[in-house]
Amino acid sequence: MATPGANLASRLSGGGVGEEIYDLAARIFPICRSITGDGVRATLRELGGRAPIAVREVPSGTQVFDWTIPPEWVIREAWIKDPSGRKVVDFADCNLHVLNYSAPVRARLPLAQLREHVFTLPDQPDLIPYRTSYYAERWGFCMSHRQLEALPEGEYEVCVDSEFRPGSLTYGEVVKQGATADEVLLSAHICHPSLANDNCSGLALLATLANRLQAVETRYTYRLIFAPGSIGAIAWLALNRDRAARIRHGLVLSCVGDAGAPNYKRSRQGEAVIDRAMAHVLRHQAPGSRVLDFSPYGYDERQYCSPGFDLPVGLFQRSLFGTFPEYHTSADNLSFIAPEHLASSYDLIVAALDILEGDRLLKRTRPECEPQLGKYGLYGSVGGAPASPDRHMALLWTLNLADGRHTLLDMAERSGLPFASICAAADAALGAGLLVDAP
């Protein structure tokens, strides 16, 4: 009997998914986001037009393990005026221009003193950096190094019209109920402002996937989280310890829209099913991809994989964070991502989910020797895989390893064949009465 999530990939695929994700990423790109504030809420409203996102608020001052939810940051305007009164930096032109979580300031000061509060990239002089000061109160601006070097001496006027006030941290959550209470966690950070790859791409892909999941039956329950980096995942874990115990597999998504070859970082467990599923998919579908061992540095996988939880959650990216020149700069714009790369990332993730949904234990009804395949109409007739020799070998491997101890993923790994080929062979053998589900 087929499982509820069988052939998930074919049911979630569809033409134009890359354009669909890109268009959503473009809509949320201009919004100024941070770890708290209305930018997160505005982004969730936009994403909520695609998926049924429930918005959660965690009040400022709430203790979440060793952390405290900070005051909410409100930013209205920020600018620098040169000695002639002309605005040379304006937050309204690019939200990267203000130090994210900047304290308020209104002052006049000489250029030498202003320089102490300006962040630039001397090695990339035409780009604006993205910088934050979440947990240390300071004010500041970001601008291109070339522009800073061109500023004349004199008195400058600066304004950051911001405030910190009691409010909340906001995150979004979609729960798609499956046939079982066991969960697959999918998570993307929502705190970065106008950075297309990191992480408008991940947010838009996750919302698109959440939308498509609504229309299909699944074996697992899917929990999709859109939360500010680090503090958002920590807050979710602190408030959902009982739900966290249901998570059987998980992925954090970031930087999924650029042209780089895909990368997967294993969970802390190292050989969890999600680690094996992603490695299998990348080996068969993404030449040039890499599978990396876990390290306690990166995105929210390090919170989900902390020793008190040790959840089987890995990280999927294309170019690795911190390694591409556009990372955390104004060059991470909408021209840096493309529909074809977003579609490729989507297809790889769905292929891994297909393995999670379709993996199962089977056993032979007659385990002694090989069955006479022609008698069952199976010789050379297994469908679902492109090459006839592979179809035959997939059937032989499946029948040999279907002993109630090897899952379909075990069979795919040992045979070197794609999971889809093993799955198609298993379906054919089940239909012929040669296999049954193992208890």
pLDDT tens-place string over residues 34-76: 999 999 999 999 999 999 999 999 999 999 999 999 999 999 9
Are 104 and 225 found together in one domain?
no
Domain enclosing residue 377, as ranges: 361-437
Pairing type for strands 247-253 and 313-317 reads: parallel
- Residue numbers in the known binding site for Zn(2+) are 192, 198, 328
Are 161 and 174 found together in one domain?
no
Indicate if the pLDDT at residue 349 is higher than 60. yes
Are 393 and 424 found together in one domain?
yes
pLDDT value of position 108: 98
Are 320 and 336 found together in one domain?
yes
Residue 6 pLDDT class (50, 70, 90 cuts): low
Determine contact, residues 142/128, Cβ cutoff 8 Å: yes
Distance between CA atoms of residues 146 and 304, nearest Å: 41
Percentage of the chain with pLDDT > 70? 97
Pick 380 or 300 by higher pLDDT.
300
Residue 35 lies in a domain: yes
Are 41 and 92 found together in one domain?
no
Angle at 294 between CA 213 and CA 330, to 5 degrees: 70
- Residue numbers in the known binding site are 192, 198, 328
Are 293 and 185 found together in one domain?
yes
Burial annotation 2-16 (CB, 10 A radius, 16+ → b, else e): ebebbbbbebbeeee
Cis peptide bond N-terminal to 211, omega within 30:
no
Pairing type for strands 168-176 and 221-227 reads: antiparallel
Neighbours of 380 (CB within 10 A): 12
**Structural tokens at position 412:** 């795919």
Strands (E), 86-216: 87-90, 105-110, 118-119, 141-142, 155-165, 168-176, 183-189
Residue 15 pLDDT class (50, 70, 90 cuts): confident
Distance between CA atoms of residues 61 and 319, nearest Å: 36
Residue 352 lies in a domain: yes
Are 49 and 24 found together in one domain?
yes
Indicate if the pLDDT at residue 5 is higher than 70. no
CATH number at residue 423: 1.10.10.10
Pick 24 or 383 by higher pLDDT.
24
pLDDT value of position 101: 98
Residue 1 lies in a domain: no
Distance between CA atoms of residues 109 and 112, nearest Å: 8
Are 395 and 420 found together in one domain?
yes
Residue 233 lies in a domain: yes
Q: Which of 358, 391, 420 is the last residue of a domain?
A: 358
Phi-psi region of 369 (alpha: psi -120 to 50; beta: other; left: phi over 0): left
Q: Which of 358, 373, 388 is the last residue of a domain?
A: 358
Average pLDDT score over residue span 176-198:
98
Q: Which of 358, 390, 420 is the last residue of a domain?
A: 358
Crossing angle (nearest 10°) for helices 273-285 and 419-431: 110
Residue 2 lies in a domain: no
